[in-house]
Structure 1
């Protein structure tokens, strides 16, 4: 179930008549799932798909109530809300998780992923399991990685073809040191802003540009307040689906199994759906007047990779060179 308005009495149980049918309702497990993007995005649709699968696999005994669009918590609040038990499930971006676990910045390294197959390899392989296990120290159970797609650069006034074109621009980023360093490396100034504030800040010209997936650029209307988009594919936007650890441990084994199966199926669906949605969103954006879309040449792509190469050594020196090596080996098999 997806809520499009505020649910009154959130977290409270209603007083209902005591009969056999009602006892079944009282036994129903409700999982409140908060996220910050629109319903018509890869994460939004996958959350809805997951909710349907859980209800189906448990014959209605478990209900996942999805709250999209930062209805309950902004992307700066949801991790603490989960840890405090105020919400049961969230799916923050990898960049948000770096607030807790800096090693996760490996997933923000530019051009680590070359194509959809690379994403699938890491999102379903040993590296994913290793990264999710790091959440255990925060009393959080990691369930899966979901994909939104490759990120592109949008700007308001300056068309971008090479890294130096970003010099002097102020760009919105998420709170990840690696994301900020990569843009600072080419001379851009970076500022953080919650996802739900980005449109207004772009409209008010507080930022010259931002990086995001095509589906987010379309669903949030960023193309309406920017003039240029370069298809850089320089990074990915992925999400870590997680559940409060204490809540997870309180669930019966058969419910945990049903949730795990539903998550596996929803994740496989997400990998296909995210690619389709970004392709469809690009077609929609192409029809917007006065919005210029640029595809990079192979030489331009080489220049971007070269400009960002120092970040790999920085990660090795400051974080987890073994983890990066394992991921690179997985990708090169």
Structure 2
């Protein structure tokens, strides 16, 4: 009998020990360390990416490619939903949407950013950049670094600079050969004071329309002309509403990809790494292919036979540059000495 009691006692003690250990009361039940990089990895993130251009443009293709790569790299735990053609927001409204976290990624044209931060006017100075390599040097160098640092004050986290190409002049009235040819014409521009003053200097009247209003503004005669990249001129059908185009390469149209800084900081580090890996791959791909895409669009526009094309010569380009010298002096204080010095250094190297 005593032996039976002893056996029962051991069984009871074993059960109680297992109970205490199993429910966290044992001496060995110590809190486990949490890997901050893995925290939140069992939660799905849905990122809304808003942009205003067509899906078959350099930015449109890059956005779709980015969404696919992010999904692959995170095994579907981060989903990027792309909304093209201003289906959610027009260009300037995107900034407010990003600040409110109604959307999570935007890729505004550099000119659009100048409304928030005048330092970005440096990218809108006419004939500031000679070619794509010089633009790349600006993006990858001190200029790109300073601009992303400046935009932090508005709660935006800069992720990448995306390429499109240089802008060209189009209009319905006459060939544009010399600056005086613009006198009296109405021209759509983005809301950058540097772009508006560029046309005022040569006697034209700048008008503000959102990107997706331009086609109707041209077809209804509200404006005589516009400026844009070849890919946008073709994809939106602007060339069908214009008689003349001058290949001037007078300004570069690129994009900056932003996320809300606070939202970005809450994402798991592993997902941040995957997003940046995808972004880097897309940025390299876009840099290699945007020029090819714009050349293809020029071929299509030229073969449409609906628009007369003038190729600006080197001599003509020098004449235009001289016409715009005063703009550099006018905006240098708004841009700031550090950025202007970097631009001067870059230009001297080319």
TM-score clears 0.5:
yes
Corresponding residue number in structure 1 for 2:146? 130
Tell me the C-alpha RMSD between the 2 structures.
1.5
Asked if the contact 1:121–1:331 (Cα under 8 Å) also holds between the matched residues in 2, the reply is no
Corresponding residue number in structure 2 for 1:304? 320
2:253 corresponds to 1:223 = no
Asked if the contact 1:35–1:70 (Cα under 8 Å) also holds between the matched residues in 2, the reply is yes
Please list every run of at least 4 consecutive aligned residues from structure 1 whose deviation after the TM superposition is greater than 2 angstroms: 24-27, 330-333
TM-score, normalised on structure 1?
Answer: 0.90
Corresponding residue number in structure 2 for 1:85? 101
CA shift for structure 1 position 331? 4.5
State which structure, 1 or 2, has the greater radius of gyration over its C-alpha atoms: 2
Corresponding residue number in structure 2 for 1:27? 43
The size of the alignment, in residue pairs, is: 310
- SS in structure 2 opposite 1:87? coil
Asked if the contact 2:201–2:324 (Cα under 8 Å) also holds between the matched residues in 1, the reply is yes
CA shift for structure 1 position 246? 1.8
Distance in 2 (alpha carbons) for counterparts of 1:148 and 1:284: 17
Alignment of 1:47-196 (within 5 A): 47-196=63-212
CA shift for structure 1 position 321? 2.5
Distance in 2 (alpha carbons) for counterparts of 1:122 and 1:258: 25
Corresponding residue number in structure 2 for 1:258? 274
1:155-177 Cα deviation digits (max 9, x unpaired): 01211111110011000010000
Asked if the contact 1:145–1:238 (Cα under 8 Å) also holds between the matched residues in 2, the reply is yes
Corresponding residue number in structure 1 for 2:285? 269
Distance in 2 (alpha carbons) for counterparts of 1:261 and 1:287: 39
Gaps of 5+ in 2: 1-39
CA shift for structure 1 position 292? 0.5
CA shift for structure 1 position 244? 1.2
TM-score, normalised on structure 2?
Answer: 0.86
Distance in 2 (alpha carbons) for counterparts of 1:41 and 1:248: 27
- SS in structure 1 opposite 2:222? coil
2:252 corresponds to 1:236 = yes
CA shift for structure 1 position 25? 11
Corresponding residue number in structure 2 for 1:294? 310
- SS in structure 2 opposite 1:306? helix
Distance in 1 (alpha carbons) for counterparts of 2:208 and 2:42: 43
Equivalent of residue 323 in structure 1, options 339, 346, 350: 339
